[in-house]
Amino acid sequence: MAEGSNVNYWSLVTIVGPILLVVVMAWVFLKNKKSKVDPEITERGTRDVYAAEQREHEQDGKSGL
């Protein structure tokens, strides 16, 4: 650092850091706010996975519970 420099970097970090964090979090929230996948498709996929798992347990002779 130069001798005449009065820059306090901790002050800069504690002010700019949280502001930057809030901006990034807001951007992520707005970017991911709405899924482009139809909820019915995801629900159907979940049911299919559970049904396949249940069939696998039944074939093994185990209860799925």
For residue range 6-15, list pLDDT tens digits in order. 778 888 889 9
Which stretches within the chain are classed as H helix? 9-31, 39-60
Query: DSSP secondary-structure letter at 37?
Result: S
Mean pLDDT of the 38-63 span: 88
pTM of the model: 0.44
> What does the pLDDT read at residue 64?
47
CA separation for the pair 61, 11 (Å, rounded): 65
Query: DSSP secondary-structure letter at 62?
Result: -
